[in-house]
Amino acid sequence: MSKGTLLIILLFFAEFILGQDGTIYPLDTPAEPNAIPLNTGGVDDQSASETWFRQWGDPMARNIVSATLTPFFPKSGKANGTTIIVALGGGFRWLSMGNEGWEVAEALAEQGITAFVLKYRLHPTPSSLEDFSDWMGKLSFAPPSNNSDSINIAPRLQLDLSNQLEDAEAAYAMIVKRATEWGVDINRIGMIGFSAGAGLTMHCTLNSKTMKLAFIGPIYGGMGAVEVPKNAPPMFNVIASDDFLFKGQFGVVDSWYKAGIPVEFHLYQNGGHGFGLGNPNRTSNRWFDAFIHWLNVNEFLNGKSGK
């Protein structure tokens, strides 16, 4: 098992541990009129259809069998051509659509950045909300053994990310193809992700042969060391010291630094896990301002949109 894969597995653990605490409420599936199908196919097990629920006050989607891309455009005359794909968290079993998707994309659009929320395919969960809730409650976890090739988890959860990588590559390809229409500078397309979405962002960076990302922003993702590609983009990395994913690790940041690729790292005093744009009275609430400043200083925002 590669270090990059182990990083994603740790992300996967985190999402499920977090999900066990909050009460789940049913939510009608929204129409999503602006969502664009990516036509990447379905999943191996399509016995359950797309279902939404609400947890922690946030809309969540699960059993995604058809990936979509939803654009959030800046106001007329404000677009600068910079474009960001937003990958949501949820342990690859659900997606935090509001907290880590729509709200972030709207905030980016306010900065003149064209944002696209990627609703990628997920691994299946039980059809009924009651069974899903019970299933979550039965998940148990054990830390990795001394042999990093062995992960103990019951029930066994598979982490093949080929569907998710294909969805991200299709999203990138669509943005490039429609760049003129959407006012996108194809040399300034980046990707940010939250928790499992940070894992997907890293997975794309380490494995994609077609995505040429200008920058990446893993937000409260796994911190394990990775093997950095020679053409890896600059990285903006955020995590809180009280996030159970942190554990005093700086591996991924150290990997970028030793590879000689620009990296900025923000370790916040508090914020926990899954804070999105921020929670009340947490130092991590300023990460988005720091991210925009980082983009600006590195001249990722210096340009004009053709739209």
Indicate whether this model's pTM tops 0.85.
yes
Structure tokens at 49: 């259809």
Structure tokens at 173: 């390809």
Q: Is residue 305 part of a domain?
A: no
Reported as a single tens digit per residue, the pLDDT across 221-262 is 999 999 999 999 999 999 999 999 999 999 999 999 999 999
Q: Is residue 128 part of a domain?
A: yes
CB neighbour class for 46 (10 Å; exposed up to 12, middle 13-18, buried from 19): exposed
Q: Residue 250: give the domain boundaries.
A: 3-297
Q: Is residue 77 part of a domain?
A: yes
**For residue 151, what is the domain's CATH number?**
3.40.50.1820
Output b/e per residue, 146-170; b: 16+ Cβ within 10 A. eeeeebebeeebebebebbbbbbbb
Q: Is residue 23 part of a domain?
A: yes
What is residue 306's predicted lDDT score, i.e. its pLDDT? 56
Q: Is residue 202 part of a domain?
A: yes
For the chain, how many structural domains are there in total? 1
> Percent of the chain having pLDDT more than 70?
84
Q: Is residue 302 part of a domain?
A: no
**Among 247, 217, 181, 180, residue whose Cα is nearest residue 104:** 217
What are the C-alpha distances in Å from 102 to residues 29, 79, 96, 166?
A: 15, 18, 9, 22
Helix (H, G, I), strand (E, B) or coil at 170: helix
DSSP per-residue letters across 222-267: --------TTPPPEEEEEETTSTTTTT--HHHHHHHHTT--EEEEE
Mean predicted confidence (pLDDT) in 67-78: 96
**Among 183, 53, 193, residue whose Cα is nearest residue 120:** 193
Q: Is residue 273 part of a domain?
A: yes
Reported as a single tens digit per residue, the pLDDT across 149-162 is 322 333 334 468 99
Q: Sorting pLDDT into bands at 50, 70 and 90, what band is 133?
A: confident
CA–CA distance, 177 with 174 (Å, rounded to integer): 5
Reported as a single tens digit per residue, the pLDDT across 168-193 is 999 999 999 999 999 999 999 999 99
